[in-house]
């Protein structure tokens, strides 16, 4: 009955269902087309494409692993603090050896991710509050330890090359996609998000799944910390500032639901990250001032979710 109400754009083509499923994709397309015209072709020019890539690179890396946490129906507000702290620790490690920069960043990120996971899974702390508390702790520690800013050798900029980042992005994309779509882990995350009791009864180790999801986010934040560090060659108390909002906005832009479970689509993370970067770049290219940019982003965020939110399957909307 519901289907009979759906509109048909072309025979056997776009139904409302399909439209909603691909909403984020259409949104991205709209942003690209609109700003490509408004910027007279500058948006998708070769140089600006790399600029858009650089802008969405860190957010996309984190957003892809964030999908696991979102699938669980959880949030992680500590990602910015993890990026900042892992960059700071890696910068200190560079004073011993530059070969320690990457491993220290990754291990630091992983450890904080494990703390988040442990607090959420085993100590039953609500992820929103737990990760907020963790972010307070590590933001404070970053500022305290850095006591200003710490630089690393300029030679490390070699890792800021586009091809290195493209490989890193493809690697994380492949791993996270396989984990999410092809491995039991991704299904477990969605099953726990849909109903952790049902998941438990069907043999899913809920606690380990939660712990692993937060650990993965921590690990990838360590990687983001590394790339942030080699890009600026400096770690400061501002490194990773408001990154948590950037990532959250990106996944929401992609139409990812907060309720977790099966409706959480992996592609939303990628599409949302690109759409947000393209939107920001487009607005900047046509000379929209900062105040207007913020209003436009706010309106679009609400509009995207209003149009794409699946109210029928959402049950209670909090």
Give which of 33, 74, 31, 81 is closest to 56, Cα–Cα. Answer: 31
From 59-67, 95-103, 211-219, 241-249, give the range in contact with other proteins by CB under 8 A.
Answer: 241-249
Q: Which of residues 294-313 bind other proteins (CB under 8 A)?
A: 294-295, 297-299, 301-302, 305-306, 309, 311
Q: What are phi and psi of 208, to 5 degrees?
A: -65, -40
- Looking at residues 38 to 57 of the shown chain, list those that interact with other proteins (rule: CB under 8 A): 39-42, 44-45, 47-48, 50-51, 54-55
Based on the shown chain and the rule CB under 8 A, indicate whether residue 123 belongs to the binding site for other proteins.
yes
Interface residue with other proteins, options 184, 245, 262, 313 (CB under 8 A): 245
Q: Which residues of 203-240 are buried (b: 16+ CB within 10 A; e: fewer)?
A: ebebbebbbbbbbbbbbbbbbbbbbbbbbbbebbbebb
165-204 mask for other proteins (x: CB under 8 A)? ----------------------------------------
Please state the closest distance from residue 179 (CB atom) to other proteins, in A: 25
User: For tokens 């450890």, what's the residue?
Assistant: 111
Q: Is residue 11 within the footprint of other proteins (CB under 8 A)?
A: no
- Give min distance, CB of 183 to other proteins, in A: 27
Nearer to other proteins, 122 or 183 (CB): 122
In angstroms, the CA 205 to CA 165 distance is 34
- CA torsion angle 302 275 167 131 (round to 10): -10
What whole-number distance in Å separates Cα of residue 23 and Cα of residue 310?
Answer: 11
Sole binder of other proteins in the list 67, 94, 108, 135 (CB under 8 A):
135
Closest listed residue to residue 248, CA positions, set 78, 44, 94: 78
Map the footprint of other proteins across residues 54-93, applying CB under 8 A: 54-55
State yes or no: residue 228 binds other proteins (CB under 8 A): yes
């Amino acid at each position: 009955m519901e289907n009979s109400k759906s509109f048909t754009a072309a025979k056997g083509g776009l139904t409302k269902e399909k439209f909603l499923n691909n909403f984020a994709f259409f949104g991205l397309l709209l942003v690209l087309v609109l700003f490509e015209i408004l910027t007279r072709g500058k948006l998708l020019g070769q140089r600006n494409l790399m600029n858009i890539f650089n802008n969405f690179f860190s957010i996309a890396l984190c957003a892809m692993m964030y999908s696991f946490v979102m699938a669980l129906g959880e949030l992680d507000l500590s990602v910015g603090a993890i990026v900042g702290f892992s960059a700071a620790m890696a910068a200190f490690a560079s004073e011993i050896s530059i070969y320690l920069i990457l491993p220290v960043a990754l291990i630091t990120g992983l450890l904080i991710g494990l703390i988040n996971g442990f607090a959420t899974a085993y100590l039953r702390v609500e992820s929103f509050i737990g990760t907020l508390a963790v972010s307070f702790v590590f933001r404070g520690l970053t500022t305290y330890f850095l006591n200003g800013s710490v630089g690393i050798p300029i030679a490390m900029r070699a890792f800021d090359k586009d091809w290195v980042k493209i490989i890193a992005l493809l690697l994380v994309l492949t791993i996270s996609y396989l984990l999410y779509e092809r491995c039991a882990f991704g299904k477990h995350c969605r099953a726990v998000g849909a109903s952790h009791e049902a998941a438990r009864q069907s043999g899913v180790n809920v606690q380990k799944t939660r712990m692993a999801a937060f650990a993965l986010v921590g690990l990838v934040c360590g990687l983001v910390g590394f790339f942030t560090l080699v890009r600026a060659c400096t770690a400061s108390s501002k490194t990773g500032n408001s990154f948590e909002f950037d990532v959250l906005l990106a996944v929401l832009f992609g139409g990812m639901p907060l309720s977790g479970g099966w409706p959480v689509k992996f592609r939303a993370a990628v599409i949302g990250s690109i759409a947000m970067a393209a939107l920001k770049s487009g607005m900047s290219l046509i000379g929209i001032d900062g105040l207007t940019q913020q209003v436009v982003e706010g309106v679009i965020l609400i509009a995207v979710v209003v149009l794409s939110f699946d109210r029928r399957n959402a049950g209670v909307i909090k």
